[in-house]
Structure 1
Amino acid sequence: MSERDDFIRRFGGIFEHSPWVAERAYDRAASSGLTAGNVHSALCNAFRAASPAERLRVLRAHPNLAGKLAVAGELTAASKAEQASAGLDRLSPEEHSRFTGLNTTYTKKFGFPFIIAVKGLTKEDILAAFERRIDNSKEEEFETACAEVERIARLRLRSMLPGDDNA
């Protein structure tokens, strides 16, 4: 396996189901050194350089928070751990109904699922952000969701490449 293939295998899931981000980031990341900060910077630059349609596909690759995939146990390992850390795997029926309703309204309005880096947040924090962001314009929310994807990538990289707090 080449170094490039190894990089793509290792970091291809950082941006949810979007290994093309790692493919495009390889040259820059390899020349900078494989620290969490350097890899994050290279991945984010590749993501930002992508077309709006490509970035939208990344957003759409993310699961709904506490949605059908979570209930069916079909989240990626990273998404499952992230959602569990915020208690989204332990919602009451009322809370689950609230998330489902917000997910439906949000996705209908914006065309992609609500995305937030949940690490360190409670389900109450997430619901408050959900309700606050649902009033954003499509353009504002697209940019917010893209920034959240980059935060999620930073957190995922920090767990893979510990000891580098510059990510």
Structure 2
Amino acid sequence: MNATTQTIHLSQPQLAQICTSTSWQQLMLADMPSLNYAALCRSADVAFAQLSESDWLEAFAGHPMIGDLGTLQKKYNQGEHLSEQEQGKIKQASKAVLHDLLYYNQAYLKKFGFIFIICASQHSAEQVLEQIKARIKNNRSDELMNAAREQQKISRLRMESYQ
């Protein structure tokens, strides 16, 4: 069977690697199996649309703080290789940029109550730093929406391995 006709049935541990929101995982499990990757993506979008703020916060908590390479090695072990891929270009940053990323991440966490979420796979550390500096100026409601959109991008990226 080719990827467009292959039925996809993901387990709870596989779904947890995609997104750590237990509500999202349960919604996805209830909709399994998916007929193909496109159907899996539609199910994910429908499930994301049903999440509450606390569900989003649970999803965000499953990510290491971007730029904190020590956290990458300790936190979210089940998806550590995924997080490393997603932050690949960050590891190449200078110490000064990493220091600034950590500083702004801590300020962001203090202001909003959740870590900065960005799908960083195609961004340099400098670009991520620019984004956090811009987004830290937002209000909490807008930033929660921004982080939710980024979470969906990250999850979609992680789902690609099941095509």
Instruction: Tell me: higher relative CO, structure 1 or 2? Use CA pairs within 8 A at least 6 residues apart.
Output: 1
The one of 105, 108, 112 aligned to 2:107: 105
Structure-1 residue corresponding to 2:3: none
Structure-1 residue corresponding to 2:21: 18
Structure-2 residue corresponding to 1:28: 31
Native 8 Å contact 1:22 1:43 kept in 2: no
Moved over 6 A (4+): none
Q: Aligned partners of 2:12 and 2:29: how far apart in 1?
A: 8
User: Where does structure 2 lack aligned partners over 5 or more consecutive residues?
Assistant: 1-6
Native 8 Å contact 1:115 1:145 kept in 2: yes
After superposition, the CA RMSD in angstroms is 2.3
Q: Aligned partners of 2:127 and 2:93: how far apart in 1?
A: 14
In structure 2, give the amino acid aligned to 1:22. Answer: Q
> Closer, same or farther in 2 for the Cα pair 1:6/1:144, shift >3 Å?
closer
User: Where does structure 1 lack aligned partners over 5 or more consecutive residues?
Assistant: 162-167
Structure-1 residue corresponding to 2:4: none
Q: Aligned partners of 2:75 and 2:59: how far apart in 1?
A: 18
TM-superposed CA distance for 1:13, in Å, is 1.3
TM-superposed CA distance for 1:29, in Å, is 4.3
In structure 2, give the amino acid aligned to 1:55. Answer: W
Structure-1 residue corresponding to 2:46: 45
Q: Aligned residues, how many?
A: 153
Structure-1 residue corresponding to 2:58: 57
Structure-1 residue corresponding to 2:139: 137
In structure 1, give the amino acid aligned to 2:95. Answer: P
Native 8 Å contact 2:22 2:55 kept in 1: no
Q: Aligned partners of 1:8 and 1:101: how far apart in 2?
A: 35
The one of 84, 99, 107 aligned to 1:80: 84
